[in-house]
Structure 1
Amino acid sequence: MDRAEVLLIGGRAGVGKSTVGWEVSDRLRVAEVAHAIVEGDFMGQVHPAPPDDPHRAAIAERNLTAVWANYAALGHRRLVYTNTVSVLAETEGTFRRAMGADVRIVRVLLTATDATAEQRLRGREIGSELQRELAGSARKARLLDERAPADTVRITTDGRTVMDIAAEVLAATGWVTGREERDG
C-alpha cells in the first residue's frame, strides 16, 4: 500500500478518545497491521502560544508533518490520530499537507451524554482544570454535533466497553478483516 491512511478519532473531552485510540492500536498490533498512533492534543502543547498562531494550529501541523515523515520513512502508511476536533472538515488540509494529498481520511466521532462525560472527567481531572474541562466539553460536543461532515461515523460510548467501541471504530477503517481480529 503506497497511499497513506489516517483514522481520526474525535469527540468531546471525557468521551474516551485516547483510551479507544490505544485499544484500536492494540488490536492492530495483535492483527499485525502496521500503524502509528499520535495523541493530537500533544502536537500543539506550547505555552505561551506563538503570537502568530494563537490557536496553535500551525505548530501542531508542523509537528505532525515532522512526526509523520519519520513514521513514513519507516514504511508506515496508517495513522491513528486522536484529537477533539480532528474530524472537522477544516482539519482535512492539515492531514493532506502532512501525509500527502491523496491520504484516505476516516472520521470517527465518539459521543457521550453530558452525564457520562462529566463522570469520566471527574474521575481524571484532579487538578484545577475540572470546571474548564466540563464547560469546554459541553461546548465542543455541540460544535462537533453541528459541524462534523456527513461521512463521519458517529459512535456512542455511553454504557459500552472500550473493547466494543474499539471494534466498531476499527470496522470503519477496513484495516482488519474479521478473521485477523478473531485470530489475534
Structure 2
Amino acid sequence: MALTEGHAVTGRTDREGGGPGARSSVLLLGGRSGVGKTSVGHEIHEQLSQLRIRHCLIEGDNLDLAYPPPWEHGLAERNLAAMWANYRELGYRRMIYSNTVSVRFVDALTAAMGDDPLVTAVLLTADDATARRRLAEREKGTALERHIERSDLMARELERTVSGRVHRVPTDGRTIADIATGIIDLTGWATEDREAGAP
C-alpha cells in the first residue's frame, strides 16, 4: 500500500462507492488537540452526504477509549477491522478516519482495513494561540492546562515525525466549511463520481 499524493483511482466508482470488487479509499485526518479534527470530519460528512456520496465516518479516539489504556493490545486496530468489515459488507468503500496520530500510522491502519485502500492523509495544523483558544471553548477547570500542554507537545511531535507526503492543511482563520471542501477536493471522491457519470 502506497501513501498517495491526493488520490488515485482504480476501476469504476459511483455514488454508491463502487461494486463488490471496488477498491476502497480512506481519508485519514490527524492533528493536535484543538485543531478541529472532529468539526472538520463532521463537516466533510455533511458535504459528502449532500452530494449523495456513500461513505462512513469513524472517530478513532473512541476505538480504545478506556482506563487503563489498552494500547499494547492494538485494540484500536482490532476494533477498526471489525467496524470496517461491517461497513464493507454493506457496500461502503470510502472511510473518513479521524485520530490525532492517524497520519503517523498509515500502514497499521490500512492493514487493519484489510483491503489495500487508496489513501489520502491530511495533517490539520493550527498555531498555538488558535489551538489554545479552541481548547478553552470546550475544556474547563484543571483539565484545560493539561490539554494545552499535551496539544503543544503533540504539534511539535507530529511536525517532526509525519511524512512530507502527508498533506498539511492549515485551519487558522478559515471556516470549517472551507477546510472541508478543500479536503474533499484532495480525496478526488466527487471527481470520481462525475467521471463515472453518476447523476
Q: TM-score, normalised by structure 1?
A: 0.89
2:166 to 152, 161, 179: 152
1:72 lines up with 2:92 in the alignment: no
Contact 1:23 1:163 in 2 (8 A): yes
AA aligned to 1:147 is: T
1:15 lines up with 2:54 in the alignment: no
1:38 to 44, 48, 58: 58
Residue of structure 1 equivalent to 2:143: 129
1:95 positional shift: 2.2
Could you tell which deviates more after superposition, 148-157 or 8-17?
Answer: 148-157
* 1:117/1:70 CA distance change after superposition, 3 Å: same
1:127 positional shift: 4.4
1:108 positional shift: 0.5
CA distance in 1, matches of 2:149, 2:77: 26
Could you tell which deviates more after superposition, 126-135 or 18-27?
Answer: 126-135
1:87 to 92, 103, 120: 103
Which sections of structure 2, spanning at least 5 residues, go unmatched? Answer: 1-17, 195-199
Q: Secondary structure at the match of 1:176?
A: helix
Identity of aligned residues (%): 45
Residue of structure 2 equivalent to 1:107: 121
1:19 positional shift: 0.2
Which sections of structure 1, spanning at least 5 residues, go unmatched? Answer: none
Contact 1:38 1:81 in 2 (8 A): yes
Residue of structure 1 equivalent to 2:191: 177
Contact 2:44 2:184 in 1 (8 A): yes
AA aligned to 1:141 is: A
Residue of structure 1 equivalent to 2:12: none
AA aligned to 2:144 is: L
Contact 1:95 1:103 in 2 (8 A): no
Q: TM-score, normalised by structure 2?
A: 0.82
1:7 positional shift: 0.2
Q: Secondary structure at the match of 2:63?
A: helix
* 1:71/1:127 CA distance change after superposition, 3 Å: farther
1:109-144 Cα offsets, whole Å, 9 max, x none, are 110000000000000012432111101101110111
Contact 2:32 2:155 in 1 (8 A): yes
1:94 positional shift: 2.3
Contact 1:4 1:99 in 2 (8 A): no
Structure 1's consecutive aligned runs of 4 or more residues displaced over 4 angstroms after TM superposition are: none
